[in-house]
């Protein structure tokens, strides 16, 4: 479905099409201005608007290999010629103003540049990695942190961030699990929308509004064996039911750009997939913004074996629906000749350019090319005390208490010695996590610093490294064991380094590195109580001295305030309330693993395991399931009730239960509602999350939690890719994780049965 001028005008002024609100609000003068520019542009200038290059005026580009133009002089010349529409991954107002001045004052048409960057979980103030923040099960918190990121990013001269990543990730071997919101469709959709709202704010023309770019369209999280840049072989039903809905949530929240995936889907690379990027994205999903390629992904069509050469790659990408080519330079080099030869219609180019210029118009760039380029804002809005406080709050809300025999919380006033053992005790190089390359090194709070600040007597903390992240240290284990024996309690700070998660960090084994496991086993053998502080960007398979610790905290990569946040949880200043957005397997070999799997014809029932769907070494369950997370208090759900056991076709039922804090402390719980379609024309998952509600209660207090369910919550993708709901019996659980919980059933009645 090609978006021509008439289509855009119809949507912009009549609201017939599902255009995002900022584009619906374009004034007639804006449309006229864009039309006038397109009429005056040369083919080379049109291709320039469709080109995004690395920012050589203020270079930051560590996540990607060097490619294309990498020096300011050449880039300046390209901008003067109108051959660049967007710069990315540079920050700083002075350099940005210099680049923008060249575009506005020295190019023929004066079209301003769009300035983009990878602000994934913070600019200077670093918040928890997205996967960690998803553990809060609180989209409102993510909206707040995204807003803070936008304030800092725009103060540093950016208009757009290549975030949020909304890929549903079900294989923990994939390194980019860390960038998303986990394995569940509903949770990922909630966080996708929240982050888009937070980044963009209420008014795109404000100088602190940051365009969002949900990625990677589509199903990048389904790469085979969790292998980065790998292939995806997927049914249409799974694509539509699992991987597309979070994008729909992001677009509904107002996202005006998206990015095509590196991977192929069913033999066609996403960057050249017209069925995906045009028929589905623009036709069915009604997306009206523009599409970026990923970094040099159009050029990589050659390596895929899908394009003959650069010229063919550019042709395939633009015809598929990629509007802006990132870093390869293929569009500038080849689109003019492709149009002149008739291989690419001029109308295709004009549609792409119009999409890009409409987005630039929507954020007010033509009226104010200097928006988000204020040196005073750069001095006052970055790394503020308020943002640090929010980072600490977000970090504490992201820590998951996986197990606890009662040892936590620790009393900071108790007269006991604490041994902090492990490579991350005093480490500041790995507190931020991957994708935080704008952050100032060494300014994150390490664990030891956070603990000392919380202890009345800092001398009671003994720190010993024991080993490096991946290698033993001569005598390291012996020294650690000696310190452990002389301590009352051991904090074991172990896990992954930040360069073990993120892009290009697929791993065949998702376990604690061998050197650290040996350290953990030796410390556990002393018999002293051990509290494990896991640092990680994915779910891990835990073993022996780690798995059997008295308490385990999943602390992820928590950002700038990591040490303080960990101390807040350890000493009970904040009650842990986070839940796992990913399932922790028993073994690496269980991956891909996710809670909403199918039962198979031979499920494990009542511990009967022979000739059942299980591995020979473990059954098909999780050590710590999706949605799991303990508290320092005790919550109890009772009195599950439905307003009606019959759900009428066009009605809703109300689900209620009473949540009581039976413990001695104030705390927060996340109540989770799951369903199962018992019999359907396609097999359905054993559970599906449909609702979450966070509740905070004082000791002894209770409240009634309420949810509403309708037929649309029961829909799935059926034959012919149609979204359907089928009458029949449904299970419903209300619980505190994806296992167990209060159970009841209801019946969806057919439409005909509701007449009269």
Rg (alpha carbons) of the chain, rounded to whole number: 27
pLDDT of amino acid 11:
31
pLDDT of amino acid 605:
84
Smallest Cα–Cα separation from 177: which of 438, 517, 433, 436?
433
Q: CB-based burial of residue 712 (10 Å sphere; 0-12 exposed, 13-18 middle, 19+ buried)? A: exposed
**How far apart are alpha carbons 393 and 565 in whole angstroms?**
7
List 494's β-bridge partners, or say none: 534
CATH superfamily of 5-379: Glycoside hydrolase, family 3, N-terminal domain (3.20.20.300)
The token pair at 82 is 């109108």
Smallest Cα–Cα separation from 296: which of 67, 128, 3, 123?
67
pLDDT of amino acid 20:
56
In sequence order, what are the residues at sequence separation of 6 or more whose Cβ sits closer than 8 angstroms to the Cβ of residue 41?
49, 82, 109, 353
In sequence order, what are the residues at sequence separation of 6 or more whose Cβ sits closer than 8 angstroms to the Cβ of residue 431?
444, 445, 446, 557, 558, 559, 560, 562, 563
Q: CB-based burial of residue 73 (10 Å sphere; 0-12 exposed, 13-18 middle, 19+ buried)? A: exposed
Q: What is the DSSP string of 517-557?
A: HHHHHHHHTT---EEEEEE-SS--B--HHHHTSSEEEE---
Three-class SS of residue 386?
helix
The CATH number, out of the four listed (1.20.1740.10, 3.40.50.460, 3.40.50.1700, 3.40.50.150), of the domain defined by the range 399-590? 3.40.50.1700
- Cβ atoms of 725 and 677 within 8 Å: the answer is no
The token pair at 406 is 């009662």
Going from the first residue of the chain to its last (756 residues), give the mean pLDDT of each consecutive group of 10, the final group possibly shorter: 30 33 72 95 98 90 67 94 97 97 98 98 98 98 98 98 98 98 98 98 97 98 96 96 98 98 97 98 97 97 98 98 97 98 98 98 97 98 98 98 98 95 98 95 96 97 98 98 98 98 96 98 98 98 98 98 98 98 97 96 86 89 98 98 96 98 97 98 97 98 98 96 96 97 97 56
Cis peptide upstream of residue 592 (ω within 30 degrees of 0):
yes
Domain ranges of the chain: 5-379, 399-590, 635-754
Three-class SS of residue 704?
strand
**How far apart are alpha carbons 180 and 581 in whole angstroms?**
10
- Cβ atoms of 174 and 124 within 8 Å: the answer is no
In sequence order, what are the residues at sequence separation of 6 or more whose Cβ sits closer than 8 angstroms to the Cβ of residue 9?
31
Class (C level, CATH) for 635-754: mainly beta
List the alpha helices (DSSP H) in 461-536: 476-485, 514-524
pLDDT of amino acid 6:
31
What are the C-alpha distances in Å from 58 to residues 93, 103, 326, 708? 9, 16, 17, 51
Query: Which residues are known catalytic residues?
Result: 294
pLDDT of amino acid 21:
60
């Amino acid at each position: 479905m090609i978006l021509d001028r008439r289509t855009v005008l119809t949507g912009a002024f009549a609201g017939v099409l599902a255009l995002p609100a900022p584009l619906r609000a374009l004034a007639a003068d804006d449309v006229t201005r864009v039309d006038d520019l397109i009429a005056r542009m040369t083919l080379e200038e049109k291709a320039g608007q469709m080109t995004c290059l690395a920012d050589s005026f203020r270079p930051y580009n560590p996540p990607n290999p060097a490619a294309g133009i990498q020096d300011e002089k050449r880039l300046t010349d390209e901008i003067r010629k109108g051959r660049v529409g967007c710069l990315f991954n540079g920050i700083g107002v002075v350099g940005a103003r210099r680049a923008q001045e060249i575009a506005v004052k020295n190019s023929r048409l004066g079209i301003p540049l769009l300035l983009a960057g990878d602000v994934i979980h913070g600019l200077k103030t670093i918040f928890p990695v997205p996967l960690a923040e998803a553990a809060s099960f609180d989209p409102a918190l993510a909206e707040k942190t995204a807003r803070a990121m936008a304030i800092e990013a725009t103060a540093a001269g950016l208009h757009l961030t290549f975030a949020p990543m909304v890929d549903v990730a079900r294989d923990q071997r994939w390194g980019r699990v860390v960038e998303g919101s986990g394995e569940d469709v509903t949770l990922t959709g909630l966080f996708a929308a929240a982050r888009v709202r937070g980044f963009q704010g209420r008014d795109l023309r404000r100088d602190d509004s940051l365009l969002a770019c949900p990625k990677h369209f589509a199903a990048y999280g389904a790469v085979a064996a969790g292998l980065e840049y790998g292939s995806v072989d997927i049914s249409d039903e799974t694509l539509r039911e699992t991987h597309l809905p979070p994008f729909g949530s992001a677009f509904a929240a107002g996202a005006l750009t998206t990015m095509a995936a590196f991977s192929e889907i069913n033999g066609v690379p996403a960057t050249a997939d017209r069925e995906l990027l045009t028929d589905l994205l623009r036709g069915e999903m009604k997306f009206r913004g523009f599409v970026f390629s990923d970094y040099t992904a159009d050029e990589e069509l050659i390596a895929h074996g899908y394009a003959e050469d650069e010229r063919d790659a550019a042709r395939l990408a633009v015809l598929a629906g990629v509007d802006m080519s990132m870093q390869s330079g293929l569009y500038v080099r080849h689109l003019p000749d492709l149009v002149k030869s008739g291989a690419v219609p001029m109308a295709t180019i004009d549609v792409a350019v119009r999409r890009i210029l409409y987005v630039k118009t929507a954020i007010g760039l033509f009226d104010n090319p200097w928006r988000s380029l204020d040196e005073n804002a750069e001095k006052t809005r970055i790394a503020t005390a308020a943002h640090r406080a929010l980072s600490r709050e977000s970090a504490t809300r992201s820590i998951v208490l996986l197990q606890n025999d009662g040892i936590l919380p620790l009393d900071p006033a108790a007269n006991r010695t604490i041994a902090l053992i492990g490579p991350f005790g005093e480490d500041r190089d790995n507190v931020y996590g991957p994708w935080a390359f704008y952050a100032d090194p060494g300014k994150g709070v390490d664990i030891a610093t956070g603990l000392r600040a919380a202890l009345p007597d800092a001398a009671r903390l003994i720190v010993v490294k024991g080993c490096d992240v991946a290698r033993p240290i001569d005598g390291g284990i012996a020294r650690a064991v000696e310190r452990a024996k002389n301590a009352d309690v051991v904090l074991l700070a172990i896990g992954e380094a930040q360069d073990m998660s993120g892009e290009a960090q697929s791993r065949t084994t998702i376990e604690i590195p061998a050197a650290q496991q040996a350290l953990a086993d030796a410390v556990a053998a002393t018999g002293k109580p051990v509290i494990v502080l896991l640092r990680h960007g994915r779910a891990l398979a835990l073993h022996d001295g780690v798995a059997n610790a008295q308490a385990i905290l999943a602390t992820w990569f928590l950002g700038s305030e990591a040490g303080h946040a960990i101390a807040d949880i350890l000493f009970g200043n904040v009650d842990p309330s986070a839940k796992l957005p990913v399932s922790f397997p028993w073994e690496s070999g269980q991956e891909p693993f996710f809670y909403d799997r199918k039962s198979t014809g031979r499920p494990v029932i009542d511990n009967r395991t022979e000739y059942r769907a299980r591995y020979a070494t473990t059954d098909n369950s999780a050590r710590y399931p999706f949605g799991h997370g303990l508290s320092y208090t005790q919550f109890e759900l009772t009195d599950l009730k439905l307003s009606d056991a019959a759900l009428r076709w066009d009605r809703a039922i109300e689900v209620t239960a009473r949540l009581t804090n039976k413990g001695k402390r104030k705390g927060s719980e996340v109540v989770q509602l799951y369903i199962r379609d018992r019999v359907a024309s396609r097999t359905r998952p054993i559970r599906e999350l449909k609702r979450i509600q966070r509740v905070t209660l004082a000791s002894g207090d209770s409240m009634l939690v309420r949810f509403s369910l309708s037929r649309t919550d029961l829909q799935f993708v059926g034959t012919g890719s149609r979204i359907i709901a089928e009458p029949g019996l449904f299970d419903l659980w209300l619980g505190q994780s994806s296992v167990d919980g209060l159970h009841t059933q209801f019946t969806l009645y057919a439409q005909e049965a509701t007449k009269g």
